[in-house]
């Protein structure tokens, strides 16, 4: 008798071979789209066009077509901005931080998570642009050398930090994502028949940068991935910290809070993982990736959601405690008003969706149930949207002088633009799902247990 330690469950189900992986990952790219894809795509395009129409209307007429007023100068615009930026965070965490920590399970989901990051950041980036009164002058936020004398950007302004943070984030994420894609593009390139589809061949040849799979290529690939992971890791923390400083550096009670950077980062990861789940639960079904994105993956992500959700809950309670403990009446009122004022329902939604509901993941059955996970992930997405709405609108609507207190209600344009970004996001994601390998197949192959476990199984069967 020999003692045999428990072998971890494989991360890929279904006794795949290397070839199986290649074929299955390439399938959505090579095959024709099914009607689910077309329905979803059509719907998203309509939403997107509606949103673009609303944006054009806003730029043509003025920000007055939104529901803002003299007291509440930001509402859905910045709520959506922070929400989308937050969603992006999971992608970077999965691809960078989990890479550094050698969490192999990330390989099945990092490609899509990162795609989500980039598409999310694109949506997020729209809002600071269109929320400007004069968006045609948006380039003024860049420190462009000019001949207007001493005109220069204001480095004290958190909005300027945002500009740098987000542009850096978008750049690094895109590069990181792309590096990972090179071997996979090469795989598709190699499978395209030049005679039948010369354009496709040419395109994927270009995209794959002449990847040949040589050992040197692989070595460089690994090195660059590691370096980029190192670069991206601080970004996971910095971007949302800086976004939080838009609020934290102000004087408005409810915004002026030192807890904001960690609170925002955790919230971002929380919402990001929820969005990854929302997307992947659909994707794995639609493009038959159930073998790669397994219950195990979903469970892992649910554990992260449970953790970050609880941390966010602690942050909420800390805020309340600090408001009470500070003894500042404005601060105290701001939080009292959040919970019991006219926007109590937004606060209640936030608390329920973000703090209470994720606690269900303590239950094993729920955290390994796909439908429950999907429903819960939607709740978290909604909750995190409300979190930003609560922070922005309920802090502004009753600040220092009661004479200026008022409320906010969105117009059809506010709503249209938000729905439009959702449409735009899905348009990008659906197009991605049809043209890019949605799973990092090259990496997946490194964790395929092709020998030992196979033999073991044969042993067991005998």
Interacting residues with another protein (CB under 8 A): 61-64, 67-71, 73-74, 128, 131-135, 137-138, 140-141, 151-154, 156-160, 163, 246, 249-252, 328-330, 332-333, 336-337, 340, 342, 396-409
Q: Minimal distance in Å, beta carbon 72 to another protein?
A: 8
Sorted by sequence, the CB contacts under 8 Å of residue 285 that are 6+ apart come out as none
Please write down the HEC assignment for all residues of 268-296.
HHHHHHHHHHHHHHHHHHHCCCCCCCCHH
Q: Is 278 exposed, middle or buried (0-12, 13-18, 19+ CB in 10 A)?
A: buried
Closer to another protein at the Cβ: 160 or 422? 160
* CA-wise closest residue to 222 among 164, 274, 180, 282: 180
Q: Which is nearer to another protein, 100 or 138 (CB)?
A: 138
What minimum distance in Å lies between the beta carbon of 138 and another protein?
A: 7
**Taking the complex as a whole, how short is the minimal distance between the CB of residue 140 and another protein, in angstroms?**
5
CB of residue 308 vs another protein: minimum separation in angstroms?
A: 28
Output 106 or 397, the one with its CB closest to another protein: 397
Report d(CA 196, CA 296) in Å as an integer.
40
Indicate the helix (H) or strand (E) that contains 345: helix 344-351
| Contact by Cβ (8 Å): 276, 112 | yes
Alpha helices, H only, 35-109: 35-61, 76-92, 98-100
State the nearest-atom distance from the C-beta of 134 to another protein, in Å.
4
- Which distant-in-sequence residues (6+ apart) come within 8 Å of 267 by Cβ? 86, 240, 308, 312, 315, 354, 384, 387
Q: How near is the Cβ of 414 to another protein at its closest, in Å?
A: 11
Question: What kind and span of H or E run contains 23?
Answer: helix 18-30
With beta carbons less than 8 A apart as the criterion, state whether 69 and 54 touch. no
Cα dihedral 392, 396, 399, 401 in deg (nearest 10): 170
457 token code pair: 């199984």
Instruction: Give whichever of 164 and 209 is closer to another protein, judged by the CB atom.
Output: 164
Query: Whose Cβ is closer to another protein: residue 121's or residue 396's?
Result: 396
Nearer to another protein, 24 or 331 (CB): 331
- Taking Cα atoms as reference points, which of 424, 430, 432 lies closest to residue 123? 424
């Amino acid at each position: 008798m020999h003692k045999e330690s428990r072998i971890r469950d494989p991360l890929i189900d279904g006794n795949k071979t290397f070839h199986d992986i290649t074929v299955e990952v390439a399938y959505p790219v090579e095959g024709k789209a099914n009607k689910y894809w077309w329905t979803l795509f059509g719907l998203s395009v309509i939403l997107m066009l509606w949103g673009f129409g609303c944006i054009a209307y806003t730029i043509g007429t003025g920000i007055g077509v939104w529901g803002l007023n003299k007291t509440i100068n930001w509402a859905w615009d910045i709520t959506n901005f922070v929400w989308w930026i937050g969603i992006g965070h999971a992608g970077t965490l999965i691809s960078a931080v989990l890479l550094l920590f050698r969490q192999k399970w990330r390989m099945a989901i990092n490609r899509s998570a990162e795609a989500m990051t980039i598409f999310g950041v694109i949506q997020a980036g729209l809002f600071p642009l269109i929320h400007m009164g004069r968006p045609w002058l948006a380039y003024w936020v860049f420190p462009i050398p000019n001949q207007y004398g001493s005109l220069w950007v204001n480095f004290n302004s958190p909005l300027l930090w945002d500009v740098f943070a987000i542009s850096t984030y978008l750049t690094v994420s895109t590069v990181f994502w792309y590096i990972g894609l090179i071997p996979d593009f090469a795989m598709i390139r190699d499978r395209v028949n030049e005679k039948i589809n010369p354009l496709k061949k040419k395109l994927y040849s270009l995209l794959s940068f002449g990847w040949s799979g040589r050992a040197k290529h692989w070595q460089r690939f690994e090195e660059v991935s590691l370096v980029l992971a190192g670069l991206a890791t601080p970004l996971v923390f910095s971007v949302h910290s800086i976004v939080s400083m838009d609020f934290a550096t102000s004087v408005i009670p409810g915004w002026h809070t030192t807890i904001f950077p960690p609170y925002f980062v955790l919230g971002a990861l929380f919402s990001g993982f929820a969005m990854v789940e929302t997307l992947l639960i659909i994707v794995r079904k639609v493009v038959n990736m159930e073998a790669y994105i397994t219950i195990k993956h979903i469970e892992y992500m649910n554990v992260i959601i449970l953790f970050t959700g609880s941390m966010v809950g602690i942050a909420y309670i800390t805020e309340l405690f600090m408001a009470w403990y500070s003894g500042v009446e404005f601060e105290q009122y701001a939080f009292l008003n959040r919970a019991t004022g006219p926007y109590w329902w937004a606060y209640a939604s936030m608390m329920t969706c973000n703090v209470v509901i994720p606690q269900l993941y303590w239950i094993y059955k729920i955290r390994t149930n796909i439908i429950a996970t999907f429903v819960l992930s939607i709740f978290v997405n909604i909750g995190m949207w409300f979190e930003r709405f609560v922070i922005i609108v309920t802090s502004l609507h009753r600040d220092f002088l009661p004479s200026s207190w008022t409320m906010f209600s969105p117009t059809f344009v506010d709503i249209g633009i938000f729905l439009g970004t959702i449409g735009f996001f899905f348009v990008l994601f659906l197009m991605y799902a049809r043209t890019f390998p949605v799973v990092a197949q090259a990496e997946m192959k490194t964790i395929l247990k092709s020998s030992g476990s196979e033999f073991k199984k044969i042993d067991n069967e005998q």
